[in-house]
């Protein structure tokens, strides 16, 4: 099986789908490798490093498409629509693509891809089961996003995070509020604590209180009747507008007392819920900082603008949309391990498995031999023979929930694992 490693073309994307250290286990499984020139440079991996692990360097991107049986990259199809349009003419029948594809928010590129006669797997749709944890790219990237969010807040805050007692007097610690206690939120809490801030965490699911407190943070409890609302699989249940309005009223006081607010609630395929309103921002002290990790889908802060810095009433609002790409070396290392584990499951005896018997492969398969295969993009269920329509619907729902694990959740979004 010749595996092609493509260079990502999405603006600002510096990660690579497989790093040199990811190749040896795949080599033992029978893979050979063809890498696009310079694919790993932005992540700190020169072509020579891939050559040392037995890969070949192609003459061009088109050469990779022409020769490889299976292609991997970080962002493809709906996650990089312009790049997908440029690459589409190079795909051939029977070729397989493995990447993050964002089919829930932007399914059209996947539908167009079907015309190539190829196969496509969306890594972010991996089900939330124990066996899939080693392939969970969203949780891996969410960990890095939470870490970087805390660093961004510390860098932009005109105060230091820790308390210091000096001959010139005592400096009080900064107060940080993290909204959402999933993977990104918990990592943001842990990092803020390590930097010395006094940290509070909020999540609509009372069940995560112990996790927040175990990191040395205070768990914020609002007087809401559905505070313990929890959906299937440990996800936070979606709430109605009455709940959200009451939540915002109570949250305003907590936000006003914070020097830093990090928000992490995102819903796959939908606009992120507004949790921090413009009035809340205006109630914060000048110099305060908000880091909105849900900016790519509209943002949890009403005033956020994706990849821009907004200053409102002295409050700095940061809305990064791809923080893992700002630490591409370790992000690629983690992503590559996830991808390698997925590939070892996907390919058996030199052939890509499209039988639908394996739950992980079934729920990540978008396009099969030129036909739409996933209910989320209008395809037929690719479940094993005999599956009912209800089972197909359940597959789509599970996949949608799994996609939310890139970020954490509050009242309206599934929680990260």
In the sheet with 218-219, reading across from the earlier edge strand, the strands are 218-219, 198-202, 175-179, 260-263, 289-292, 315-318, 309-312
C-alpha 295: how far from chain center: 12
Residues with active-site annotation:
128, 133, 136, 139, 235
CA distance 83 to 25: 29
CA distance 264 to 95: 36
Beta carbons within 8 Å of 379's beta carbon, 6+ residues apart: 366, 367, 371, 372, 373
- Token pair, residue 397, equals 């729902």
Alpha helices, DSSP H, located in 10-70: 23-28, 47-52, 61-67
CA distance 249 to 263: 17
CA distance 333 to 311: 35
Residue 303 gets which letter from DSSP? Answer: T
Pairing of β 371-372 and β 365-368 = antiparallel
């Amino acid at each position: 099986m010749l595996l092609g490693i493509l260079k990502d073309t999405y603006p600002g994307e510096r990660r690579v789908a497989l790093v040199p250290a990811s190749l040896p286990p795949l080599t033992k499984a029978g893979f050979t490798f063809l890498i696009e020139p310079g694919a790993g440079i932005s992540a700190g991996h020169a072509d020579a490093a891939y050559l040392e692990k037995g890969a070949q360097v192609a003459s061009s991107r088109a050469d990779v498409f022409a020769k490889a049986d299976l292609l991997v990259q970080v962002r493809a199809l709906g996650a990089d629509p312009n790049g997908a349009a440029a690459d589409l003419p190079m795909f051939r029948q029977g070729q397989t693509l493995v990447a993050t594809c964002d089919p829930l928010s932007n399914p059209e590129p996947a539908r167009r891809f079907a015309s190539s006669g190829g196969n496509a797997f969306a890594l972010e749709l991996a089900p939330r089961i124990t066996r899939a944890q080693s392939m969970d790219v969203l949780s891996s990237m969410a960990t890095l996003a939470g870490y970087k969010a805390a660093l961004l807040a510390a860098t932009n805050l005109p105060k230091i995070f820790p308390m210091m007692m000096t001959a010139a007097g005592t400096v009080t610690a900064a107060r940080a509020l993290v909204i959402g206690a999933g993977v990104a939120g918990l990592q943001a809490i842990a990092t803020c604590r390590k930097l010395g801030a006094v940290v509070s965490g909020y999540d609509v699911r009372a069940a995560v209180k112990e996790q927040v407190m175990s990191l040395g943070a205070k768990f914020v409890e609002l007087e809401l009747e559905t505070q313990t609302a929890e959906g299937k699989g440990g996800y936070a249940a979606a709430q109605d507008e009455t709940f959200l309005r009451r939540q915002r009223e109570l949250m305003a006081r907590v936000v006003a007392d914070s020097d830093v607010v990090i928000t992490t609630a995102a819903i796959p395929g939908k606009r992120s819920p507004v949790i921090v309103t413009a009035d809340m921002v205006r109630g914060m002290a000048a110099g305060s900082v908000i880091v909105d990790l849900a900016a790519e889908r509209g943002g949890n802060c009403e005033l956020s603008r994706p990849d821009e810095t907004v200053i409102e009433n002295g409050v700095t609002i940061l809305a990064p949309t791809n923080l893992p790409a700002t630490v591409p070396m370790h992000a690629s290392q983690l992503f590559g391990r996830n991808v390698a584990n997925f590939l070892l499951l996907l390919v058996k005896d030199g052939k890509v498995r499209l039988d639908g018997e394996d739950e992980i492969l079934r729920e990540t398969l978008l396009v099969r031999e030129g036909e739409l295969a996933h209910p989320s993009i209008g395809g037929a269920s690719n479940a094993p023979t005999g599956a009912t329509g209800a089972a197909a619907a359940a597959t789509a729902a599970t996949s949608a929930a799994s996609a939310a694990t890139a970020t954490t959740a509050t009242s309206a979004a599934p929680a990260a694992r």
